[in-house]
Amino acid sequence: PEPRRAAPAVGLRARSAATDLRSGSCDRYRSTMSTDRQHFTDDHDAFRSSFAAFVAKEMTPHYLDWERDGIAPRELFAAAGRYGFVGMAVPEQHGGGGTSDFRFNQVLAEELASAGIGGAGLGITLHNDITTPYFVEYCNDEQAARWLPGIASGDLITAIAMTEPGTGSDLAGIATTAVRDGDVYVLNGTKTFITNGINADLVIVAAKTDPTQRHAGISLLVVERGMEGFERGRNLDKIGLHSQDTAELFFTDVRVPAANLLGEEGSGFQYLSANLAQERLSIAVTGVASARAALDWTVDYVKERTAFGKPISSFQNTKFVLAEVKTEVDVTQAYVDQCVRRLNEGTLSPADAAQAKYWCTELQNRAVDRCLQLFGGYGFMTEYPIARAYADARVTTIYGGTTEVMKTIIAKSLGL
């Protein structure tokens, strides 16, 4: 693919990659997809082809090394930025793609899943889907000029720090404080399970600027790499998503300039709640894409593997299992695409997003587990993407709001 700067007139319409760079992941992804899926335009298809080539050239050859290292290199974000694969929602005047069309984000998630890229891909999707919207929506003019160009280029990697030890879904119960002292806030507290925590240059920190309040006392401060008192702890050792750096963050009397307050003081919980629908839909998109990838790998594998003198694809159990998985994935895909359209229209409700997140992540775990079974002992070997997908899937019913929290939101929408 050509760098974004080489074709400013076409905006987000990515150029087709050279033939020798094509990965084929686009074709693999569509192999079990209904051919009448009319969700994407030609622009999205061109973008998909370019990103598939990028994944094949820049990610797939190095991915297992990153998995062993427990982190993807910072250069990955800058490389993605050169081709327009980060910062799609950043306004064009700040070097971004200038579009809020979430279908471009969806394309990235689908291609990453198809290529079996878990951890490193999550770092990119978090940067695009979850943190960038806060900067685009709530930066003032000075902050936008200072941060958005780097976010769009991938030179400034972003993270968001909400979760604390002992405080998961109860965001109003956070203990991190930010006390105003003239033209700075003095920030103290600890965060954990922070995606991009090691690589991040800009960390959106949820803190209590008024500890006497619960929701109304939360504000968002942007902590920058190198601020005195800001320290990173361990790169946490996880079951899966190994190449995605997940860290503990410590803030000890960090003097954060008041100019780094994102939006208005006391409005942090409101901002976080407003973005939760997109965050949860992002997880849902990856969930169904990962389930489809597992199905595709398994369909190919069972045609090649033999048992008792014939391909295991010929056994009724194999046929029934894969027929059931395909049906669930296709039905779910239709709902997810509908949710993406609603998000673009501004009509996606918290309950819609909760349903998508709950169902897609549970499907992801269920589908990957059933597909792995058909690989037999090879499914337990991490050299096979199905094994890595199995480990990566487990956390998806937890982060972004647990399945139980999603069911609570859905029940509330029913008046229960």
Catalytic residue positions? Answer: 279
Residue type, 208: K
- With contact defined as beta carbons under 8 Å apart, do 118 and 392 qualify? yes
Query: What is the helix (H) or strand (E) element at residue 42, kind and residue range?
Result: helix 42-54
Hey, which residues does 56 pair with through a beta bridge?
Answer: none
CA distance linking residue 8 with residue 24, whole number of Å: 27
Q: What are phi and psi of 355, to 5 degrees?
A: -60, -45
- With contact defined as beta carbons under 8 Å apart, do 176 and 203 qualify? no
Closest-CA residue to 33 (of 359, 326, 370): 326
Hey, which residues does 33 pair with through a beta bridge?
Answer: none
What does the block give as tokens for 266?
Answer: 């006391």
CA distance linking residue 122 with residue 128, whole number of Å: 10
What does the block give as tokens for 249?
Answer: 């963050």
CA distance linking residue 24 with residue 27, whole number of Å: 5
Q: Would you call 266 exposed, middle or buried from its count of C-beta atoms within 10 A (0-12, 13-18, 19+)?
A: middle
- With contact defined as beta carbons under 8 Å apart, do 90 and 98 qualify? yes
Please give the C-alpha separations between residue 46 and each of 14, 100, 134, 221, 340, in angstroms, as whole numbers: 6, 17, 28, 37, 19
